[in-house]
Amino acid sequence: MTAETIIQSLASGLLMGLLYGLIAVGLALIFGLMDVVNFAHGEFLMIAMYASFFLFAFFAIDPLLAAPLVAAALFVFGAVVYLLIVRFAVRAKANAGMVQIFSTFGLAIVMRGVAQFFFTPDYRSVTHSWFGGKTVSIGGIFLPQPQLIGAAVAMLAFGGLYYFINRTDFGRALEATREDAGAVALVGIDKNRVFALGWGLGAALVGLAGAIMSIFFYIYPDVGASFALIAYVTVALGGFGSVFGAFAGGIIVGLVEASTALLLPPSLKSVGIYAVYLLVVFVRPRGLFGSM
Amino acid sequence: MDTDFAKRRRRDLIVAFCLAAIAAVVPLFVKDSYVQNIMVLTLMWAALSQSWNILSGYCGQISLGHALYFGIGAYTTTLLFTKFGVLPWFGMLGGGLISALIAMGLGYPCFRLRGHYFAIATIVIAEIGLLLFHNWDWAGAALGIEIPVRGDSWLKFQFARSKLPYFYFALALACVAWFVTWWLEDSKWGYWWRAVKDNPDAAESLGVVVFNSKMGAAAVSAFLVAVGGSFYAQFVSYIDPESIMGFHISLLMALPAVLGGIGTLWGPMLGAVILIPVTELTRSYAGGSGRGVDLIVYGGLIIAISLARPQGLVSLFAPKRKEATR
Amino acid sequence: MTITRRNVLLGATAAAALAPIAARAQTSEVVIGVTYPMSGANAQIGVDAQHAYVTATDIINNNHDFDLPLAKEVGLPGLGGTKIRLVFADHQGDPQKGRAEAERLITQEKVCAIIGSYQSSVAVTISQICERYQTPFVSADNSSPSLHTRGLKFFFRAAPHDEMFTKAMFDFYDALKKKGTKIETLALFHEDTIFGTDSANAQIKLANERGYKIVADIKYRSNSPSLSAEVQQLKSANADVLMPSSYTTDGIMLVKTMAELGYKPKAIVAQAAGFSEKALYDAVGDKLEGVITRGSFSLDLAAKRPMVGKINDLFKAKSGKDLNDNTSREFMGLIVLADAINRAKSTDGEKIRAALAATEIPGEQTIMPWKRVKFDELGQNNDADPVLLQYIGGKFVTISPPQGAVAEAVWPMK
């Protein structure tokens, strides 16, 4: 194993990790806001990828340009999912935890079925885009442009999110609602509206991730499944509810995955991620940055 | 208060006995092997879900990784039989014991985790198990293991066409799982679990005993699920990691309990009796289109039931049960 | 039409189990069960297969001027012109469901034979059930070599298995070497499923026998979000030939990742699967000029046998795709089965089995590059010669074996 191999693997892992973080951060945001884990998160990613694909196929819009459009569409979709399903799930008087797991899980299955119904199970790809298939080489280390762009978008998104939560009125409303949903109602903030906007924002972030992913990933109705578990582990590793945790969790997951593949047969590379998750939560039961 | 409780328990036992007796004669009249196959699967998933419910429903430790124990049961039986000629009945017992031990070993660090951290830990552990079996050449790795079928035999627990032996075994397993639950409800453990659920502060004062009782519940739950896994291996006579230990197996164990009523005595049974036939029939009669209609129906049903009946469908039958248990 | 009938059944779930018995009064058809993954990750395969089988049924049931068994007649003359009808069943790639569906097809739909099933793991349980019910199972497109060596009487496979496919690759290397091309090292890249494992095992066995050195043996998890680490290892091994055994998804990722990491293999010889799917070439075809894949089928045959082109057109009208490695095998599998039912002059399982065992179809009466269809005592057709195809200028040309080749191989690839 040469130094070049190691550096290349870690560089690829880091870039992939930032993307994992971007995919996962919407999940962390929603959980932080209202303690709900969206088990259809992978399917949100799937429809975002399809949206980006169709914008490309019918209107020849490059996925990078499409990203804001996809994010906007997902924002609406996320808010609608909240208003139509999740709103009722969190209201459940009994077994609220189970109800929200399984209502979003049911949604995931429906979304896969609907995607198969309308889009057929064919594999799609965005065949040419500004950055697709291009790569930058620095001293023998190759950095694929789509992933570089993804990493840049991820960092921008995290920066923006940080600013948004801490510096804007809506961000403060989110924080306040998260801390005490009952009290904010007294000051005249409509809890449902805040939650719907929170879901919209979480979905918009997945939308961003989906648009970037569509540059270099194949698209089909079950594509979300490949990323769902990684996204949950990423969020839990960082600590549920912590936006910064998702960021850090993503990077860790990416690096651990890459280094496991160097040491073990690559078919076992996920074992490294899972083992690190278990080690972390056994020591810190609320993840790295979760509130204790 | 206690007399109500005792009365209900007696009534539950009588109802269960009657239902089991009725179930036992059904296959004598319904001879279609496709329908019998659905009945076997329904009973098996009812038993599995009932076992899952002990840990996840009564103790409140939501496990989404019970496929691990299912797989260990299936693999222990099959490996012992195909490699060493050990009869599946001993394999079943062995697989159950191994699973129970592993469940306790894992419970020790995991029970300190709460909510989603615990659930994700269970998913991840089962996933590690799946990957290890996938890469374990001696155990067939991805190729899986086929159990050679050499004619009908109770000793080897294999039957070429008849579903009846499998049906009665699955029925027996479902009855055992139900009875264990029934018995636990009125045990010391059941009492602590209710106390902890009703009043989280009680958890603090009962800390150590509750922890030990959870370890016990994990062991019982894993043992029964492993026996179910052994049974499944015999029933299908072929196992491979993906179809035995995949995440969908863990979900299928949780779903009947969730739909029927989690943490209730009858919920898993009721959920399985509805869910499994619907799943099988939608696939058989709507799945051939290749257009995902079966998924839409199946997923829609899960959303509808979990939103409309958060306490599970069992609440339709006994709206006042909640008060009765208190 | 079938959909509505099924929806009615679905509505009356309780009655559904009993309904088919009543619904099957008229038996003027020969019913054949077809089982595939029709939902889930491999649904596309099932949908494509459906088109292939419907095309074959059309040719069997109606009059077509092809030199193919049963094409010129209407229906099955051996059964007085009876037509065949297909019943499709979805096994979702799950061995247990495959088993249950096979049993349903046999006992409820009263099929006289079953054909399927794409995933080899599902073929294991379906063929077991078929054996128990003495119903023939024709494995159209399963390539696992272990399937036919289990001592099953009712198992038949007209197409080659992985060891035959792999042998064709090594024969090709040997021939190139004789001409002076340097081929010493191989890199294997295979997924961790039955398909990948069987394929790699066959490749390792032959490499050892024929003196090729395997410098990398990368087993990866199918549908991985990223293959960078895997490709990195392939790159540092830099073998003379890269031999992937991957489905469409991972195939696409492999090719994209290789380009991104600046790895240009000297040659790629693929175990078909993803590398014979249109979706893969739609996505990354521009990076695959000169890739070689094994195949059971080649459209080049159309030049020699015009009916191949016409049948391809019939299929394309339904599916929008050319016949490929899978769909051609599926098409041919049903023709072989129908031919046997016709000769058996019966829908009795034992008689069809005997007729299948006596099958002798010359290669010219198939759409495949095979010598003939004739099953050995294990139910395997050993005269199904695979071909190697090279992707040149946006389409496949046959480069091996010599008798079927229409072009010289371009080696190394561009």
Tell me the ipTM for this assembly.
0.88
Contact yes or no for A137 and C262 at CB 8 A:
yes
Rounded to a whole number, what is the distance in Å from the CA of B243 to chain C's nearest CA?
6
What is the Cα–Cα distance from C132 to C154, expressed in whole angstroms? Answer: 9
Q: Answer yes or no: is pLDDT of A166 > 60.
A: yes
- Calculate the alpha carbon distances from C404 to A54, A183, C388, C411 in Å: 41, 80, 10, 18
Q: How far is C157 from chain A (nearest CA, A)?
A: 27
State yes or no: pLDDT of B178 exceeds 90.
Answer: yes
Of B236, B280, B286, the CB nearest to C6: B286
Q: Is B150 on the interface with C (CB under 8 A)?
A: no
Q: Is B236 on the interface with C (CB under 8 A)?
A: yes
Asked if C212 and C166 touch (Cβ cutoff 8 Å), the reply is no
pLDDT: which is higher, A127 or C191:
C191
Q: Tokens at residue B156, please?
A: 């080897």
Which pLDDT does position B325 carry in this prediction? Answer: 42
* CB pairs < 8 Å spanning A and C: 111
Q: Is A253 on the interface with B (CB under 8 A)?
A: no
Question: In terms of CA atoms, which chain A residue is nearest residue B112?
Answer: A285
Q: What is the pLDDT of residues A250-282, one digit of tens each?
A: 999 999 999 998 888 888 989 999 999 999 999
pLDDT tens-digit readout, B23-36: 999 988 888 888 99
B263 contacts in chain A (CB < 8 Å): 95
Instruction: Report DSSP letters for B159-205, one per residue.
Output: -SS--HHHHHHHHHHHHHHHHHHHHHHTSHHHHHHHHHHH-HHHHHH
pLDDT higher than 90, residue B224: yes
B121 CB neighbours in chain A (<8 A) are 277-278, 281
- Are residues C96 and B236, on separate chains, in Cβ contact within 8 Å? yes
Nearest CA in chain A to B257: A98
Q: What is the pLDDT of residue C244?
A: 94
pLDDT at A176: 77
- Which chains have at least 3 CB atom pairs separated by less than 8 Å from chain A? B, C
A269-288 burial: b if 16+ Cβ within 10 Å, else e:
bbbbbbebbbebbeeebbbb
Q: Is the pLDDT of residue B324 over 70?
A: no
pLDDT band at B201 (very low <50, low <70, confident <90, very high): low
CB of B241 less than 8 A from some CB of C? no
Query: Is C109 within 8 Å of chain B by CB?
Result: no
Chain C contact probe: residue of A14, A137, A143, A218 with most C CBs at under 10 A: A218
Please tell me the predicted confidence (pLDDT) of residue C26. 44
Mean pLDDT of C192-205: 91
**pLDDT value of position C23:** 41
Residue of B nearest to A271 (CA): B128
**pLDDT over 50 at C24, yes or no:** no
- The neighbours of chain B, by the rule of 3 or more Cβ pairs under 8 Å, are A, C
Q: Is C16 on the interface with B (CB under 8 A)?
A: yes
Say whether residue A116 is in contact with chain B using an 8 A CB cutoff: yes
Q: Is the pLDDT of residue C152 over 60?
A: yes
Are C44 and A142 an interchain contact pair (Cβ–Cβ within 8 Å)? no
Question: Rounded to whole angstroms, how far apart are CA atoms C275 and C326?
Answer: 11
- Is B76 in contact with B101 (CB distance < 8 Å)? no
Contact C107 B33 (CB under 8 A): yes
The Cα of B215 is separated from the nearest Cα of chain C by a number of Å equal to: 32
Give the pLDDT band (50/70/90) at residue C207: very high
pLDDT (0 to 100) of residue A137: 86
Determine whether the interchain pair A121/C226 forms a contact, defined as Cβ–Cβ distance below 8 Å: no
Q: At C190, which helix (H) or strand (E)? A: strand C185-191
CB contact under 8 A, A117 and B293: yes
What is the average per-residue pLDDT within C224-244? 91
The mean of the pLDDT values for chain B is 87
Q: How many CB pairs under 8 A join B and C?
A: 123
pLDDT, position A80:
95
Query: Touching C: which chains, 3+ CB pairs < 8 A?
Result: A, B
In this structure, what is the dihedral angle of CA atoms A149, A150, A155, A159, given to the nearest 10 degrees?
100
Among A37-41, C9-13, C119-123, the range scoring the smallest mean pLDDT is: C9-13
CB of C400 closer than 8 Å to CB of C294: no
3-state secondary structure chain A: CCHHHHHHHHHHHHHHHHHHHHHHHHHHHHHHHHCCCCCCHHHHHHHHHHHHHHHHHHHCCCHHHHHHHHHHHHHHHHHHHHHHHHHHHHHCCCCHHHHHHHHHHHHHHHHHHHHHHHHCCCCECCCCCCCCCCEEEECCEEEEHHHHHHHHHHHHHHHHHHHHHHHCHHHHHHHHHHHCHHHHHHCCCCHHHHHHHHHHHHHHHHHHHHHHHHHHCCECCCCCHHHHHHHHHHHHHHCCCCHHHHHHHHHHHHHHHHHHHHHCCHHHHHHHHHHHHHHHHHHCCCCCCCCC
Instruction: Compute φ and ψ for B146, nearest 5 degrees.
Output: -100, 135
Tokens of B3: 């007399």
Distances (CA, A) of C176 to B308, C172, C202, C213, C271: 68, 6, 20, 16, 19
C13 with B238: Cβ contact below 8 A: no
**A119-156: buried (b, 16+ CB within 10 Å) or exposed (e) per residue?**
bbbbbbbbeebebbbebeeeeeebbbbbbbbbbebbee
Percent of chain A's residues with pLDDT above 90: 44
The whole-number pLDDT of residue B322 equals 45
Residue C4 has pLDDT above 60, yes or no: no
- Chain C CB within 8 Å of residue B141 CB: yes
The CB density around residue B303, as the number of other CB atoms within 10 Å, is 22
Which residues make Cβ contacts (< 8 Å) with residue C70, sequence separation at least 6? C59, C60, C76, C77, C335, C338, C339, C342
**Strand C387-392 relative to strand C395-400, pairing:** antiparallel
With an 8 Å Cβ cutoff, are B144 and C219 in contact?
no
- The answer to whether C337 touches C138, Cβ cutoff 8 Å, is yes
Calculate mean pLDDT across residues A20-48: 90
C294 contacts C350 by C-beta, under 8 angstroms: no
Q: pLDDT tier at A291 (50, 70, 90 boundaries)? A: low
Instruction: Give the percent of chain C with pLDDT over 90.
Output: 58
Q: List pLDDT tens digits, range C291-304.
A: 999 988 888 888 88
pLDDT tens, position by position, A220-247 = 998 998 899 999 999 999 888 788 889 9
The token duo for C64 is 């077509």
Does A83 touch chain B if contact means CB atoms closer than 8 Å?
A: no
Given CA atoms B284, B286, B292, B298 in this order, what sign does their dihedral have?
A: negative
Test the A interface: residue of B58, B113, B116, B278 with most A CBs within 10 Å: B116
- DSSP 8-class letter at B55: I
Indicate the residue of C221, C233, C249 with minimum beta-carbon distance to A270. C221
8 Å CB contact between B250 and B63: yes
Contact call for A125 and C283, based on CB within 8 A: yes
Nearest CA in chain A to C287: A133
Phi-psi sector, B85: left (phi>0), alpha (psi -120 to 50), beta? left
Which residue bears the tokens 């399917």?
A43
**In a 3-state reduction of DSSP, which class is residue C345?**
coil
Given an 8 Å threshold on Cβ–Cβ distance, is C100 in contact with B294? Answer: no
- % of chain B exceeding 90 in pLDDT: 45
Mean pLDDT lowest among B40-44, B261-265, C341-345, C379-383: B261-265
Interface touch C108/B281, C-beta < 8 Å: no
Which range, A29-33, B231-235, C177-181, is most confident?
B231-235
What is the value of pTM for the model shown?
Answer: 0.89
**For A17-26, A31-40, B242-251, C389-398, which range has the lowest pLDDT when averaged over its residues?**
A31-40
Residues constituting chain C: 414
Contacts of C220 in chain A (CB under 8 A): 266-267
The answer to whether residues C120 and C344 touch, using CB atoms and an 8 Å cutoff, is no
CA-to-CA distance for C317 and C324, rounded, in angstroms?
A: 14
Q: Cα separation of C342 and C69, whole Å?
A: 10
* Residue among A95, A240, A260, A264 with most chain B CBs within 10 A, to mutate: A95
Cβ neighbours of B303 in A, within 8 Å:
85, 103, 106-107, 110
Q: Could you read off the pLDDT of C75-129 as tens digits, one per residue?
A: 999 998 899 999 999 898 889 999 999 999 999 899 999 998 998 889 999 999 9
Contact flag B135-A115 (C-beta cutoff 8 Å): no
Confidence of residue B193 (pLDDT cuts 50, 70, 90): confident
> Identity (one letter) of the amino acid at B165?
P
Cβ atoms of residues A71 and A45 within 8 Å? no
Of C221, C228, C283, the CB nearest to A258: C228
Short-list A291, A24, A35, B281, CA closest to C11: B281
Query: How long a stretch of residues is chain B?
Result: 326
Residue B12 in tokens: 């539950």
Residues of chain A in contact with residue B299, where contact means CB-CB under 8 angstroms, are: 106-113
Token code pair at residue A221: 């109705």
Q: Where is mean pLDDT largest: A161-175, B131-145, B184-198?
A: B131-145
Question: Pick from B123, B146, B124, B144: which is nearest to B134 by CA?
Answer: B144
The identity of residue A225, as a single letter, is A
Here the contacts of C317-320 (C-beta below 8 Å, separation 24 or greater) are: C318/C51, C318/C54, C318/C55, C319/C48, C319/C51, C319/C52
Please tell me the distance from the alpha carbon of residue C368 to that of residue C390, in angstroms, as a whole number.
17
For B251, the 3-state DSSP assignment is helix
Beta partners for residue C76, in sequence order: C82
Contact C193 B242 (CB under 8 A): yes
Beta carbons of B292 and A93 less than 8 Å apart: no
Is residue B202 very low, low, confident or very high in pLDDT (cuts 50, 70, 90)?
low
Which member of B149, B277, B290 has the closest CB to residue C38?
B290
**Amino acid identity, residue A166?**
N
* pLDDT score of B129 more than 50: yes
State whether residue C98 sits within 8 Å of chain B by CB. no
Cα C308 from chain centre: 17
- A291 against B184, higher pLDDT: B184
The answer to whether C12 and B277 have CB atoms below 8 angstroms apart is no
Alpha-carbon gap: B138 to the closest alpha carbon of chain C (Å): 13
Q: Which residue has the tokens 């939103």?
A: B307
pLDDT for A56 equals 93
